[in-house]
Amino acid sequence: MTKLLDDPRIDPRIKKVFGDFSQPAASDLSSREELLAAMNTPDAQAALAIEAALYRSTGTEAAAPSEGLVVETKTFVSAPDGNSVKIQYIRPQGEAVLPCVYYTHGGGMAYLSAFDDNYRAWGRILAAQGVAVAMVDFRNCMLASSAPEVAPYPAGLNDCVSGLRWTHANARELGVDPSRIIIAGDSGGGNLALATAMKLKRDGDVGLIRGVYALCPYIGGRWPHPDHPSSIHNEGIFISVGNNRIPLAYGIEALERGDPLAWPSFAADEDLRGLPQTVISVNECDPLLDEGVSFYRKLLAAGVPARCRQVMGTIHATEVFPACAPDISANTANDIAYLARTGA
C-alpha cells in the first residue's frame, strides 16, 4: 500500500485516481550532467511515461468542457535570448474585454508543458470562470516543453517575464483588460509566478500585474527543511522532494547563493515590499505545505496584502488534475478568477 492510500486525511476520490502512484525516493547526484544522463535511461523514461499517462487521464473533455471557449496558440520572442515561446491562450467566445490569468505550469521548473492534457483542461476550467487565460510554455531545465531548448535558471524565468510583458503589450489584440492581469501558477509554476512578480518589481514594472496566485509553491530548494515539518511528515505522498535533483537541474549555484528569484523562500522584505495582492494556496497532504505557509507569513511581515488558503484532504497540486476532484478544481479556479476580477 502506498503512503497516499494509507493516509486517512486524503479525499477518497484522490485515492481512487492516484492511490497506486508515487514518485520513488531518489538519491542525490553530483552534477547536472549526471542528472541529465540519468533521465535518459530506459527505467527513467518508463517511469515518466507512466506519470504522463496518469496525468493525461485527468484532463478529459468531460472534466473540462471546451464548449463556449476559444483555444489558440500564440508565439512570442523571449528576451534576452531571442528564443521563441508558445502561449496556450483560452478565453470565452465573444468580444468582451476580460481580466487575464497569466499561468505558469508546474513540474518543478524542470518538465511538463502547458500543452499537456491536464493543463489544457485546467486552463479551460479557469477560462470558464469568465477570464482569459494565457498559459506560457517556458523553457524547462530538464525535459523539453514545446520550447525545444532545455536550459537552467534563469532561462525559464526570463521566458515567463517576457511572456507577461508580451501579454500586457498585446492586451487589446487579446481582448484583455491590461489593468486586470494576474500571474498564477502551481508547484514549480508557483515558484515562477512569485519570481516573475519579484523580477517585475526589481525592474520597476510591478504595475503590469494586479495580483499573484501561487498554488503549492515549490520554493524552498532544500528538503527536508528543519522549520517545515510537512517536508518530513508528508514526504512521499504523491511526490518525493527529498533529493537535490531538480535544484541541480535548475542551477545549484543559485540555491547556494540564496537567490530569491530562483528560490523565493530566500526573499527578504525588500524583495517583497510593494508586491500586489498575493494569494498562497496550499494542499493539506503536501510536503510543500509549510514552505507555502511560511512564505505567506513573510509576505505579511513585508507589508504585502496577502491571504492564504489550505485545501483540506488534498495532495500536491490536486486542482490541476481536473477529473480527480472536479469541485475542488472549480472552487480554486473561481478563487483565481476572483483575484483577476477584483485584485483582492
Q: What pLDDT is attached to residue 17?
A: 95
The SS3 assignment for 24 reads coil
pLDDT digits over 102-150, tens only? 999 999 999 999 999 999 999 999 999 999 999 999 999 999 999 999 9
pLDDT at 175 over 90: yes
pLDDT at 93 over 80: yes
pLDDT at 56 over 80: yes
Q: What pLDDT is attached to residue 19?
A: 87
pLDDT at 58 over 80: yes
pLDDT at 339 over 80: yes
pLDDT digits over 219-277, tens only? 999 999 999 999 999 999 999 999 999 999 999 999 999 999 999 999 999 999 999 99
H-run or E-run covering 199: helix 188-202
pLDDT at 21 over 90: no
Q: What pLDDT is attached to residue 176?
A: 98
pLDDT at 1 over 80: no
In contact, 241 and 22? CB cutoff 8 Å = no
Contacts of residue 170, defined as CB under 8 A and 6 or more positions apart, other chains included, come to: none
Residue 37: other Cβ atoms inside 10 A: 12
If you average pLDDT over residues 155-165, what whole number do you get? 98
Q: What pLDDT is attached to residue 285?
A: 98
Q: What pLDDT is attached to residue 227?
A: 93
All domains of the chain, ordered by start, with CATH?
3-342 (3.40.50.1820)
- Which grid cell sits at 269? 522584505
Q: What pLDDT is attached to residue 23?
A: 83
Q: What pLDDT is attached to residue 173?
A: 98
Q: What pLDDT is attached to residue 43?
A: 87
pLDDT at 36 over 90: no
Query: What distances in angstroms separate CA 144 from CA 122, 126, 340, one per listed residue?
Result: 20, 25, 30
pLDDT bracket for residue 34 (50, 70, 90): very high
Contacts of residue 136, defined as CB under 8 A and 6 or more positions apart, other chains included, come to: 85, 87, 102, 103, 104, 105, 114, 159, 160, 163, 164
Q: What is the dihedral of CA 86, 90, 93, 94, to 10 degrees?
A: -60
Q: How far apart are CA 155 and CA 145, in angstroms?
A: 13
Helices (H), 219-325: 230-233, 245-256, 269-272, 289-301
pLDDT at 216 over 80: yes
Q: What pLDDT is attached to residue 39?
A: 87
pLDDT digits over 285-335, tens only? 999 999 999 999 999 999 999 999 999 999 999 999 999 999 999 999 999
More confident residue, 52 or 277: 277
Q: What pLDDT is attached to residue 25?
A: 82
The amino acid present at 331, given as its one-letter code, is N
pLDDT bracket for residue 5 (50, 70, 90): very high
Q: What pLDDT is attached to residue 184?
A: 99
If you average pLDDT over residues 23-52, what whole number do you get? 89
Q: How far apart are CA 140 and CA 142, in angstroms?
A: 6
